[in-house]
Chain A
Amino acid sequence: MPVSAYTQVTELSTDAHACLTFGEQEDLLDLTAAFVRDGLASGFRVVVLSDSPQLATAKLGWREIAAETAVAAGQMVMAASQDGLVGPQGFSAEQAMDWLRDQLADSRRQGYAGIRVALDMSWALRPMTGIEELPVLEEEIAGVVSGAGMSVLCGYDRERFDPVTLALIARFHSHAVAAATYYDDPVLRICRQYVPPGIRLAGEMDFLASEALALALGEAIRIDGDITINMANLSFIDASSIRMIMEAAASLDPSRTVVLRCRPAIKARFAQLGADRLPKVSLVGVDER
């Protein structure tokens, strides 16, 4: 699908039924975070359904989304798949729709002007009875969101769901959403990061992809505010790429900062080349995954 067929996650309407396809877990978390952030900022109710609400809360946390606070205030609901879309007897579209309608009714009862629901659909990869009704669920969601002030973001792992299923469920969505990607091959991926704003590098980065890195850095610089370069899943970076990132950081207005998130070995490499001595740069280590 050409890139132009995708809608930016930040430009979804208030009654969108969006299909988010992702290749990396980071994409799902990042785009979900942007969807949640904008929903909270608009004063909407926000519901996030995932396999592990505790983990999802933590992962939204480093993306500067205070999920715990929003949950305590009643504006946000962190739900587990097994408490929402999937029942103890397996999956049924009717039961799942009951849960979704309950969320909408609850939101209205409490006076919210709108509601955003983010669904991590990975539960549907598990063998369970009734899963053949998945397209029915997606079709019914499409019917409910229309004019209801509810938008739903369904996250599908494009590597793990089969193409036939993806093509079938895509038809019932009003928008297709994916991370803006500057470079993507089996060795390296460079894409935009929405929350916190910046770029994300995964795999191995060297001078062969310097044009794509320059483009990605250029776009990040043109957006206002601080920039995060997320290299949590980067295992190699060469000197010329480090230099390009440092030069981009040095070119920023003094009021802006650059956060470099990286594994210990990559962090040490940036420090060797002097990045830790740049006043605008902070090097943040992350655990290897």
Chain B
Amino acid sequence: MNGNDRQSDPASPGDSAVLADAEADIGDGEARLDLDQAFDSGTLYALRAAVQAHAIQAGLPENRTDDLVIAVHELAANAVRHGAGAGRLRMWERDGALHCEVSDSGSPASGIQAGPGGNMTERWPFLQGHGLWLVRLVADQISVFSGPGDTRATVVFFLSGQDPSVSAPD
């Protein structure tokens, strides 16, 4: 039930209910939710600091940590400036890669209608300019999901600097 889901959201990281939810959400492989943090215009600085700390902890090289921080910042900035004005970041590690999902669950200011056949540019007209271009440049992978009143962008950074699913034997 949605009501129950929302109640479990503010639980502290490490809470088993949150972890169970997260694992169900974030993929089939072995995953660990590292960070789940709400943000708005007043907390972008704290968001960057938290992402940086967790990326370093996960073993991402320094220059790639800088790239991850700016990718998350630009996505979050888009949510603040052109979307709902606030959002949520979830960060987890899976299969040798860091995943950062920025969600903006309010209605975008521009009032776009997501259509099943539309391309990403049509669904996210607010994600333009140098910000998103830079995210695409620095991230190893980026995916965007957009539904009615719910937009989620996920960037993936490989911890070893290359795609583990390609380089791993087997």
Contacts and interface: CB of A to CB of B under 8 A. Distances in A.
Interface string B102-127: 00000000000000000000000000
Contact of A238 (B41, B63, B131, B137): B131
B45 A238 contact: no
23 contacts: A187-B45, A204-B45, A206-B73, A207-B81, A236-B48, A236-B70, A236-B73, A238-B70, A238-B74, A238-B77, A238-B131, A239-B130, A239-B131, A240-B77, A240-B129, A240-B131, A242-B130, A243-B129, A265-B63, A268-B63, A269-B66, A272-B138, A273-B134
Interface of B: 41, 44-45, 48, 63, 66, 69-70, 73-74, 77, 81, 129-131, 133-134, 137-138
A58 to B, nearest CB: 28
- What is the interface residue range for chain A against chain B? 10 to 19
A208 interface: yes
Contacts of B70: 236, 238-239, 269
A238 B134 CA distance: 10
B44 A208 contact: yes
A241 to B, nearest CB: 10
Contacts of A265: 63, 66
A243 B48 CA distance: 20
A269 B130 CA distance: 12
Contact of B134 (A204, A206, A272): A272
A273 B130 contact: yes
B73 A238 contact: yes
A272 B137 CA distance: 9
B66 to A, nearest CB: 5
A266 to B, nearest CB: 9
A208 B134 CA distance: 18
A239 B129 contact: yes
Contacts of A208: 41, 44
Nearest to A236: B48
A206 B48 CA distance: 11
Contact of B130 (A204, A206, A243, A268): A243
Contacts of B77: 206-207, 238, 240
Contacts of A269: 66, 70
